[in-house]
């Protein structure tokens, strides 16, 4: 008998959907979502088996299995029956394999959801995985790999993995290729289909989480889910337990110089840190990424941008596991920035030193908590397929009452946790990756899977100390309190229902129109300012000048507008046929 949990979900104030937790007799855990206003239904299944579970010498088997499940099932033996049904009824489907999980998801017209879900359920009950599909899907996996060979994102990610402990699953090549799924298994006398069927036994109901998003009532969808997914076998598999950090001392204090495919210089400074998920209510990495990645005056980026060394900067923690994480500061460099790479690295460490000396500030944490709370409670609805794929990952990580909020609302001020992460951002634990075609002819190594050329140099704490000393002398300082953070989110009363915009002011040079929102009643705004400039496009020279003016204006406003963006106020400036337009909106 399935158990329907009476969970008090932490949810956004603006969220009118209904939710129910359901635990099936086979230990498959489900989240049911009812939305009477939706015209699309969606579902996502996360299986706690990913590329880290690939058997030794069969790299990419988890990804290959993901492909094979789309082929056919015992109940629906027609080739690609599931995919055809979805596409013929206004839907889309996809899947992805990550380190510890594999996710399958689809959406479809709400009226066709029951039949679509039945076909989807067969992935996890009795897929065929016929011999005639094996070679074709290996070719499809290999085609993906060949496409990735030209992607610098994939190349650099695999290079980072290559320079890790060989006995850690992070080191593995994960996507698979013709070599790993056809050539090498044959050489070893392995039947890849039999290996696939053996690997599929890991797909046990106790390792699965399902999110279903429908128009119908919760009772209605519960009956459907029980009837379809109770047939998924529970073989009581253990979830994959990843070892801790994949980087040992020999993989730190390194400067890796790599040659990309596409022209451009990039710098990435990273450290292995304690995963933020272990302290998600304190959010130490969120606090630090806010400050290190800030773009206002006194920030790292503001200084290197003014010096003409960088075009952007991103900072934050990321991971594909609960057991390890990396905090990174990444930036796109100019040619001058490439020449001043050591100065930039020194400036980053200089700012980290400032954070340690200046101490942790409760007002900064409270300001971020206020921004996060506003963003969560007044978030816009996203497409059902996006909602189910983002929500399902929370089910594995958080208690049921926190499935909808996840780590969005850090609420416990814990300076000791922030200092703990700050201490981990040290010269002794750093690894630096620099990508540039300027390194051509000076590298002496090649990563085996993507053939990325690279070289390695040691970077000692003493060297970093020297870089700090010769870093730019411009003053670094913490951001001031954000004047854009809202203090009052109450709505103004509108006496009458307004159907059309009304004109509030009219002059020879301007008109001001206004219309209150009569549908959503949330503290949000959308403003369009249309500048009519008669001479802006009267000649090619004028059009180019207007375009340059808009780009320079955006660049000039960046430091000031960054605080507004953090607080949820966004703006864009667009060229129009009669001038330009400024659009301002709340998140």
- Is 250 one of the catalytic residues? no
Residue position matching structure tokens 């490439």: 338
Contacts of 396 (CB under 8 A, 6+ apart): 46, 48, 101, 209
Residue 394 and residue 396: Cα distance in Å, rounded?
A: 5
Residue 529 β-bridge partners? 582
Task: List the one residue out of 530, 529, 533, 528 whose CA is nearest residue 546.
Answer: 533
Instruction: Give the residue among 356, 337, 347 at the shortest CA–CA distance from 470.
Output: 347
**Which residues are paired to 453 by β-bridges?**
446
State which H helix or E strand residue 359 sits in.
none
- Sheet with 265-273, edge to edge strand ranges: 310-318, 325-333, 265-273, 431-435, 254-258, 453-458, 445-446
> What size, in residues, is the chain?
587
The catalytic residue among 137, 282, 367, 407 is 137
CA distance linking residue 459 with residue 409, whole number of Å: 37
Name the catalytic one among 29, 46, 59, 66.
Answer: 66
DSSP character string of 10-37: ---TT---EEEEEE-TTS-EEEEEE-TT
Contact present, 364 and 377 (Cβ < 8 Å): no
Rg of the chain (C-alpha set) = 27
Report the relative pairing of strands 40-47 and 208-214 from DSSP bridges.
antiparallel
Q: Is 66 a catalytic residue?
A: yes
User: Which residues make Cβ contacts (< 8 Å) with residue 163, sequence separation at least 6?
Assistant: 251, 254, 256, 431, 456
DSSP 8-state code for residue 127: B
Which residues are known to be catalytic? 66, 137
């Amino acid at each position: 008998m399935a158990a329907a949990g009476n969970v008090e979900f932490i949810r956004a104030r603006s969220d009118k959907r209904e939710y129910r937790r359901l635990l099936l007799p086979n230990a498959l855990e489900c989240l049911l979502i009812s939305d009477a206003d939706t015209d699309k239904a969606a579902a996502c299944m996360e299986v706690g088996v990913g590329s880290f579970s690939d058997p030794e010498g069969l790299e990419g088997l988890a990804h290959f299995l993901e492909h094979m499940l789309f082929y056919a099932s015992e109940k629906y033996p027609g080739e690609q029956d599931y995919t055809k049904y979805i596409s013929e009824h206004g839907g889309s489907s996809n899947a992805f394999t990550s380190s510890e999980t594999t996710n399958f998801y689809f959406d479809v017209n709400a009226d066709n959801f029951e039949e679509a879900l039945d076909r989807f359920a067969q992935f996890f009950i009795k897929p065929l995985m016929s011999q005639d599909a094996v070679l074709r899907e290996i070719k499809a996996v290999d085609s993906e790999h060949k496409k990735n060979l030209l992607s610098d994102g994939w190349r650099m990610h695999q290079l980072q993995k290559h320079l890790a402990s060989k006995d850690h699953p992070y080191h593995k090549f994960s996507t698979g290729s013709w070599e790993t799924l056809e050539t090498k298994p044959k050489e070893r006398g392995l039947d890849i289909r039999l290996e696939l069927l053996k690997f599929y036994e890991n797909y046990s109901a106790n390792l699965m989480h399902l999110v279903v998003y429908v128009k119908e009532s919760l009772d209605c969808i519960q009956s459907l889910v029980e009837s379809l997914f109770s047939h998924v076998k529970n073989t009581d598999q253990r979830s994959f337990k990843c070892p801790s950090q994949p980087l040992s001392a020999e993989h730190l204090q390194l400067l890796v110089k790599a040659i990309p495919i596409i022209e451009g210089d990039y710098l990435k400074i990273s450290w292995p840190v304690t995963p933020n998920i272990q302290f998600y209510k304190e959010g130490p990495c969120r606090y630090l990424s806010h400050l290190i990645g800030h773009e206002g005056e006194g920030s790292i980026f503001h200084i290197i941008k003014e010096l003409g060394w960088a075009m952007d900067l991103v900072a934050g923690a990321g991971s594909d596991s609960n057991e390890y994480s990396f905090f990174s500061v990444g930036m796109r460099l100019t040619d001058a920035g490439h020449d001043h790479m050591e100065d930039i690295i020194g400036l980053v460490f200089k700012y980290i030193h400032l954070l340690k000396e200046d101490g942790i500030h409760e007002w900064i944490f409270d300001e971020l908590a206020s921004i996060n709370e506003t963003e969560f409670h007044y978030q816009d609805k996203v497409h059902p397929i996006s909602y189910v794929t983002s929500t399902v990952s929370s089910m594995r990580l958080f208690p049921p009452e926190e499935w909808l909020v996840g780590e969005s609302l850090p609420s416990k001020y814990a300076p000791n946790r922030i200092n703990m992460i700050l201490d981990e951002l040290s010269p002794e634990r750093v690894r630096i990756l620099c990508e540039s075609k300027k390194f051509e002819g000076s590298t002496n190594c090649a990563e085996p899977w993507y053939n990325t050329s690279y070289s390695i140099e040691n970077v000692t704490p003493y060297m970093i100390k020297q870089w700090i000393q010769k870093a730019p002398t411009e003053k670094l300082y913490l951001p001031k309190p954000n004047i854009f953070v809202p203090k009052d989110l109450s709505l103004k009363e509108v006496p009458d229902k307004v159907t059309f915009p009304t004109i509030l002011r009219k002059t020879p040079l301007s008109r001001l129109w206004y219309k209150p929102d009569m549908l959503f009643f949330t503290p949000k705004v959308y403003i369009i300012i249309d500048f009519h400039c008669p001479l802006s496009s009267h000649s090619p020279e004028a059009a180019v000048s207007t375009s340059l003016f808009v780009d320079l204006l955006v660049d000039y406003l960046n430091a000031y507008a960054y605080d507004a963006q953090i607080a949820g106020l966004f703006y864009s400036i667009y060229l129009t046929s009669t001038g330009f337009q400024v659009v301002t909106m709340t998140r």
